[in-house]
Structure formats: structure tokens, C-alpha cells
Structure 1
Amino acid sequence: MKKFAMIGASGYIAPRHMQAIKETGNELVAALDNFDSVGIIDSHFPNASFFTEFERFDRHISKLKYERNMHIDYLSICTPNYLHDAHIRFALRQDSDAICEKPLVLNPWNMDALAKIEKETGKKIFNILQLRVHPGIIALKKKIEEGPKDKIYDIDLTYLTSRGTWYYTSWKGDISKSGGIATNIGVHFFDMLSWIFGELKQNIVHINTHDRSSGYLEFEKARVRWFLSINYDVLPDEIKAKGQRTYRSITLEGEELEFSEGFTDLHTVSYQEILNGKGYGLEAPRQAIEIVHAIRNSNPVGPIGEYHPFAKKPLVPHPFK
């Protein structure tokens, strides 16, 4: 049984990590979050120590090590995007491996610095890239690998996940903390595309605002028009009519890829792979991090050339500006 600690226990994604730790037969011994609405811990590890102050959490981890001879094998990181880098560093310096939610970091050079700390400490950094363990995505990768070697596929990626105005007050609405729309809700799709279709050749940004981002990516084996948004108004009318607030679509050569099912246990699968020595390490998401960093720092050219059809949907002002 491995010992785990967690930073970021009250957010949306933390329960999936708790479930993964439990279902792989391991133990969460300590958790930290500055927000104390963490009753979810009771469903998984009611005996885990909980802290709202980093200093007390840090001291507790040290006491476990030096007074109870208890070593924390893994630190799970489920904190806001801009804190991942610092919390990974903390994990490694506590002699623990880090398991971090996506995006691993916000900037490519953060990965270079972390590589030095990995080497210095001998500990490992793992990124949760759950689409890479989704059976439908694995099957697609196999299909592409076994298909014509010189074929370049045409893909449309659309991901709309409606958020209320709270989003702009939270850290997610602050581009310096979340990395913006493309980073916050799109990085795992860009990683999946990189994993399947190879090296990036071109990255054009058509739209990049507070509530949407759209552009064109060309990989070795794919041309991708993509559109991401958190604005309810851009949802197709038929989705609104069903009372739904989320729409996800990936078409390959005009055919819809069906992978809406099978998401419930992907964190558990990811943890099992890490525990078996097969997890995705520091370098795995590099191209995706480079893609979202470039999007964040590009000057959008508007809906010209190979743009996603949704890129022409009317823009709306920021609700608080």
C-alpha cells in the first residue's frame, strides 16, 4: 500500500483522484486546501488529516517522515493551473513523486526547470492524460497507425462547456492563472491530437477571447479546425432544446468519433499505469503545452483561411468589463 498526500482537495477533479487512490488499494494520509468544504473526503478517506494552511500541511508531512517514519510516496496535485509548477517542486523536494492534473504547467520553460529538479532529486513527475487511456482514443490511434502512411486526415474539434458568470470571478477567468480558454478546457484535446497525429507543423489562431478560442492546427497526419467555448449561446439549438449545457464533437473525415462513454474510471486507470511504472511523465505533454502557450501569445487573425464554422458566431463583451 502506497501513501498519498493531496494538494487541492475541494475542487471538481479532486474526488476522481481520491477514488483512484482508493480503487488502486492505496491510502490518502493528508490533504490540503484553503477552502474547507471537503466532506467528500469522508466517502474515501475519513481518517486523512486535513489542513487549510500550507505551513501546517508542510510541517505535518515532515512530522510523518521524521517522527513516525512514514514516507509519502506520491503527492497528488489538483490545484489551480498556475500553482502546479510550485506544488510539483514541493512534492519532489519532499522526496515524493508528483501526480499532477493537466495542464502540467503553463509554459514550456517550466518543464525545462522541472526536468533539472527531477534529475537532482531522483523523483518522478507524472501527468494525468486520461484521453490517452480511453479505449475509443486508443482504438483511433491504432487505426491511424495501421492506415495509409501518407494520408493526412481532416478533423473538426468542437468542445462547448457552458459556464456561468462565476467563471470570470474565479481563478479560471484570469488568464495569468488558468492560461485562458484553450489551456483550461482544451489542453487535453491538443495532447490527444499530438499523441495520435504526430509533430505539429502549423498553429494559426483565428479567435481568442474571454469566452472562446478557435484556430487551425496542422500535424504530420492531420489538419484540425478547432473551436472551444464556455458561452452557452454558442451551443447548437438542438443541444439547447435537450436542456444540455455541454457539447463535444470530433469528426474525422466527416464522420463523428464516438467516445462520449467510458470516462468514469480513467483516473483510476491512469493511477494504475503510474503505479505499474507506465505512467506519462514530464515530457509526454510537451507539445500540448507548447501549443496552448503559442495560442495564448498569438495575435488572432480572424475567421480567414481554414477556420472552424463556429468561429463566425457573434462575439460578446466580457460581462465585467
Structure 2
Amino acid sequence: MTIDKRSKIYVAGHRGMVGSSIVRRLQAAGYINLVTRTRQELDLLDQLATHDFLRAEKPEYIFLAAARVGGIHANNTYRADFIYENITVQNNVIHGALAAGVKDLCFLGSSCIYPRDCLQPIKEDYLLTGPLEQTNEPYAIAKIAGIKLCESCNRQYGTRFVSVMPTNLYGPNDNYDLVNSHVLPALIRKAHEAKMRGDKELIVWGSGSPRREFLYVDDMADACIFLMEQGINEGIYNIGCGEDVTIRQLAETVMDVVGFQGQIVFDVDKPDGTPQKLLDVSRMANFGWKARVSLQEGIAKAYAAYLEFSSN
């Protein structure tokens, strides 16, 4: 499907890790009419302001990457904030798009929408077939609500709102807070700081046994734009690489990239979360899309981005 490079495209959440990657990818592909707003310029928690903005701009495409995100600790600690803020933002943007006559929207969800103990690898059809992981249930419920709102708009109003479910993402503009971040950026920072201090140990939360799949964020952005350009106009799509590693293996890879020579010590008093979370990516593969960046290469890119971030 050929799309005019002058098409007006709004990227919500363009300063975040995913949103900034989508902007970079669109610019690299030659799209010249991108619309962005900072949180100071447009508060997406404000329904009236969001609706007014979308009616005024009338974008042809929207990538909804704005969200409140975090790791196990943040999800489990700020449960009310996570469910309220995510539901409110996505409702305002999706319903505002509908009211403004926008037909094409890509909603970014999360693989945590799937049941805690469902079969592996996880197919899109497993949604709502079992209980969620308790540590991030409010965030997951918010994202499920977004998926169902997109589906319902498509059925009732004939819109073309698609939902993408990424696996664990990492890359430039990640959150490196040691308490509230996801596991990979936290490990990059921990390993770097341990190396700089000359430590002999690297403390890793949990037992090290859970298995996780990781995707470099630029691959995620590529998948979103691929769906737009292919004219895929409805449904849920898992976005991942189709391979997982244990947290121990992940920590060892990070240590290798960073150059930290110490030993791993697991803090078993910290939660593990879901035992395994590997996505079935065959639906995207059938369209002809697959991830390109290997874990080792991606961590090296992410470490370089962290070094630049920490030096500023």
C-alpha cells in the first residue's frame, strides 16, 4: 500500500522510548508532516484539550505511544495511578480520534495483557483466558480496555484502529531508575556503576530463573509503521523476536557488553513476576515482518545510549 509521505501523522508520547523511536523511523522513511506535542503543550489527561487538539489538527494517522510505564516495583506500588492514567489517556486519544473523524490509529499495548500462566509461546487468542499477573494487573487491565475500545470503534464506526502488543522493550530514551525501571535498563545501569566502582558483585532482583523476551525499540517502531504501510486495518498483533532468555542469561549478556567482571548475586526477596513470557509472533511473520536486531547488538546500542544519557 502506497502512503503519501505528506500525510499528517500524530505521534502521542513522542518523547518516550517508543514514541521517539517511531518519530525517528517515520522521519527516516521520508514522512514530512509529523505532529507532536509535549506534555506541557498538551495534557492528554485533559479530555477537552485532547479532543480540541485532534479536531483542530485532524491527523490522518495516530500512533498512541503515550502511557505511564514502569517495572515490577512501579506497577505494584502505584497501582491506582497506573490504571487511572493509562485508561484516561487512551480513552481521550481514541475517543477524540473517533470524534475528529480519524480513521487510522495504532494503539500500543503490552504483553502483560495475557494471563499469567497461559501456554507458551503466547498467541493473541489467549487474551482473557485466565487470571493476570497480580503485580501489574492494573496496567494490564488498562491496556485490555484500550484494545477493546479500538475493537468496538471498528465494529460500530468502521474505523481502522489496530492494537500492537510488544514484548519487553529497551533502547534509547529508556528509564534507568534503579527502583521503577524495567529489568534491562536497570541491569545496564547497575552493571556500569558496579564496574566504575570496582565492585565484585552485581545484585539482581529475583531468582534469575524467569524467562523473558526482549526487543530493541527500533524494531518495535518498524513493526508499527509496517502495519500502517501495509494497510492492516484491525486486530491484535504481537511484536517480538520469538526467542527468550532467563534473567540470569540476560544479566550475563549485559555484564559482557558493559565489561563488568564480577559475580551475580540474586536478591530472592524481590519478586520474580510471571515465570515465562514469550510471544508467538507468527501473525506478523505471515505478513512478512520480523525483528532484525539481536539481543547482544541491541544491548550494545542501549549501553551506548545510556553512556550518552548519563554524561549529560
Q: Give the TM-score band, short-chain normalised.
A: 0.3 to 0.5
TM-score normalised per structure 1: 0.41
Bigger strand share = 1
Bigger helix share = 2
Which of the pair has more CA radius of gyration? 1
TM-score normalised per structure 2: 0.42
